[in-house]
Amino acid sequence: MKMMYVRLTLLLTFFIGVCRAQEIIPFPNHYELTAGKLTIPRTLTISSSDSEFSGIIPVFRQSARDFYSVKVEQKDENGFIRLIRNSGEKNHEGYRLTIKPDGITVEAGYANGCFYGLQTVLQLAGNAAAGGSLRCAVIEDSPRYEWRGLMLDESRHFQGMTEVKRLLDFMALQKLNKFHWHLTDAQGWRIEIKKYPLLTEVGGKGDLTNPNGPVQFYTQEEIKEIVKYAGQRFIEVIPEIEMPGHATAAVKSYPEFGGGGSEQCPDFTFNPGEKETYGFLTDILDEIITLFPSRYIHIGGDEVHFGNEHWNDIAGVHQLMQAHQLKDLPDVEHYFLNRMADSLRVRGKIAVGWDEVVTAGLPKSGTLVMWWRHEKPQQLGEALTKGYEVVLCPRIPLYLDFVQYNLHTYGRRWSGGAFAPIESVYRFPGKEFTGGISVSSPLVKGIQGNVWTEKIATPERLQFMVFPRLSALAEAAWSDDDVKNYASFNLRMNNMISLYKRMGLTFFDYRNPENTPEIKDPVK
């Protein structure tokens, strides 16, 4: 027994030592150390004979300069870093990285795989710095999950282009590839729709802290800029336009499409009993589709019951129920969702909805479900049983606006005081988080961290809540269980935290929590 303990200890020590040598987040799914060392020059030269791969180099050069102050020059051939097309690599995001004493080779079958290989190079070379050295090695890597996402809510509190680009930069560095952008809700409409200018002129005014504050939204030109910026980093931007609930900002702007609400949530819904409502929303989606090349459009579909009671008093809703044999208000909600999802499908898009849509009868071939209610694992089970593709983003532990340390007093907690520490994010998707339901099904597309901004009004507060949990999320989404190791992750976070400091981020140092002040903001 003692000998087994010694062997395990030696194995763990070796594993952690290798991880420290690699200094990569997320950790690669296969690596092999080889003989020799590679010295890092003052200027990294990079070359590629493939024109598509050459197109990635400007972003790499910019990232190297911004993150690590490393100079990169492009060469026609035989650079210190060499990019090679490998037609045998079938995984679009897979790459092979070879470190030898004379340089680094990145091989990939596709541009996004080449890009991810370069992110590994960026961390290795940046952390080693000029004159430092790397152990020679071979890395063969591809992601655990296809969907590795982060969601940002900008309805409650608007963050702005600078902060969004900062998030995209760190997402790219750590190989996250989906940015879910929550742009409309009760508190604000944050995207310009040219056919309906009042959506931003009226609906974009104020926020949760100050309803009478200035108008804040993204113009369509700004949206295009961010989508392009993300695309250059192989990040797909998925917009969310909430319906039929969470519609207060839109209804304030165009009350003729309102379906009422409740005492607690007034003007919360669109009116499903008027055909003009569907025309209005389809017009909006048509402009959204021109701005976002993503295959996915998120239409919400959650918490409609918070404010649909007034539907009982609308003649058009009663006529709709009679015409389509709808027995109750949930049936009306499902009719609405099917109709709007169909509008997306005929335009070649996949409708995304929160897990309430599992019961709406949407066709599985054109629907993606986001499981968010961690206390209802049966919704996850039902979605998988019905054949829906699913993204896992449960409140516990993947809501990054939830408290991350037990002594923090400012932020969200779940019933009983549950919160979302970094270790829980890292351990996801263990069965303790899914009610025992297996998530090994190919229907599980991946995982996503969600950042709601009810209690996040400033960039400093946003950074404090996102970093460093973004790094744990990245490794949970990319690295297989057999290479994940939390002790190793903590050691490798030394370099990531140094990077946070160099970049001027406000972050929570989870390894020194008593000496890291909790960042608050003026949210009441």
Phi and psi based region of residue 133 (left: phi greater than 0; alpha: psi -120 to 50; beta: remaining): beta
What pLDDT score does 22 carry? 61
Same domain, 85 and 123: yes
Residues 57 and 74 sit within 8 Å (Cβ to Cβ): yes
Q: Please report, for the domain that includes residue 186, its CATH number.
A: 3.20.20.80
Same domain, 92 and 155: no
Same domain, 286 and 203: yes
pLDDT in tens, the chain (524 residues): 444 443 444 344 444 444 444 689 999 999 999 999 999 999 999 999 999 999 999 999 999 999 999 999 999 999 999 999 998 889 999 999 999 999 999 999 999 999 999 999 999 999 988 789 999 999 999 999 999 999 999 999 999 999 999 999 999 999 999 999 999 999 999 999 999 999 999 999 999 999 999 999 999 999 999 999 999 999 999 999 999 999 999 999 999 999 999 989 999 999 999 999 999 999 999 999 999 999 999 999 999 999 999 999 999 999 999 999 999 999 999 999 999 999 999 999 999 999 999 999 999 999 999 999 999 999 999 999 999 999 999 999 999 999 999 999 999 999 989 999 999 999 999 989 999 999 999 999 999 999 999 999 999 999 999 999 999 999 999 999 999 999 999 999 999 999 999 999 999 999 999 999 999 987 55
The string of pLDDT tens digits covering residues 436-446 is: 999 999 999 99
User: Is residue 187, in this structure, part of any structural domain at all?
Assistant: yes
Same domain, 55 and 133: yes
Same domain, 328 and 205: yes
Same domain, 176 and 83: no
> Domain boundary residue among 118, 141, 164?
141
Same domain, 246 and 126: no
Question: What are the strands, taking DSSP E only, across 51-132?
Answer: 71-75, 81-85, 95-100, 103-108
The string of pLDDT tens digits covering residues 332-346 is: 999 999 999 999 999
Same domain, 151 and 124: no
User: Is residue 464, in this structure, part of any structural domain at all?
Assistant: no
Q: Please report, for the domain that includes residue 90, its CATH number.
A: 3.30.379.10
Same domain, 285 and 331: yes
Same domain, 42 and 83: yes
Sign of CA dihedral 351, 353, 358, 360: negative
Cα gap 151→207, rounded to integer Å: 18
The string of pLDDT tens digits covering residues 83-114 is: 999 988 899 999 999 999 999 999 999 999 99
Same domain, 235 and 302: yes
Same domain, 154 and 134: no
Checking DSSP bridges between strand 103-108 and strand 43-48, what pairing results, if any?
A: unpaired
Give the end-to-end CA distance of the chain in Å, rounded to a whole number: 57
Structural domain boundaries, residue 129: 30-141
Q: How many CA atoms lie within 13 A of 374 on its CB side?
A: 20
User: What percentage of the chain carries pLDDT values higher than 70?
Assistant: 95
User: Is residue 333, in this structure, part of any structural domain at all?
Assistant: yes
User: Is residue 11, in this structure, part of any structural domain at all?
Assistant: no
User: Is residue 18, in this structure, part of any structural domain at all?
Assistant: no
User: Is residue 24, in this structure, part of any structural domain at all?
Assistant: no
> Domain boundary residue among 101, 121, 141?
141
User: Is residue 434, in this structure, part of any structural domain at all?
Assistant: yes
Torsion of CA 206, 209, 212, 214, to 10 degrees: -40
User: Is residue 6, in this structure, part of any structural domain at all?
Assistant: no
**What's the structural domain count of the chain?**
2
> Domain boundary residue among 87, 120, 141?
141
